[in-house]
Amino acid sequence: MSESLYVAKTLIRGALIGLNAYIKPGGVHRLTPLKVFDDLTCNIASCIDTLVESVETGSMVKRGEVAVTSVDYNKLFTSPLKESFRNCGSVYPEYLVPLTVLGFTIGLSGVESILEESSKFKKALEAVNNVNKWSDIKQLIEVLRIIGRADMYEHLQSTGYTQITLLKSGATFNDVFRVLSSRWRGFSLVDSKETLVFQYLKQLVDLQREYKNLENSLIALYMELVKQHIPVNLQDKAREAHSCKYMATPECTKLMYELDVLLRKNKVFFEWASEITVLVSALAVYEGLK
Residue 125 vs residues 38, 114, 129, 188: alpha-carbon distances, Å: 30, 11, 6, 12
Verdict on whether the full-model pTM lies above 0.75: yes
pLDDT of residue 31: 83
Rg (CA), the chain: 19
By C-alpha distance, which of 226, 220, 188 is closest to 204? Answer: 220
By C-alpha distance, which of 4, 3, 1, 14 is closest to 288? Answer: 14
In order along its 290 residues, the chain shows pLDDT tens digits of 689 999 999 999 999 999 999 999 999 998 876 789 999 999 999 999 999 999 999 999 999 999 999 999 999 999 999 999 999 989 999 999 999 999 999 999 999 999 999 999 999 999 999 998 888 998 999 999 999 999 999 999 888 877 776 667 788 999 999 999 999 999 999 999 888 999 999 999 999 999 989 999 999 999 999 999 999 999 999 999 999 999 989 999 999 999 999 999 999 999 999 999 999 999 999 999 99
> Contact, 273 vs 226, CB < 8 A?
yes
By C-alpha distance, which of 173, 148, 145 is closest to 157? Answer: 145
pLDDT of residue 1: 64
pLDDT of residue 194: 87
pLDDT of residue 145: 94
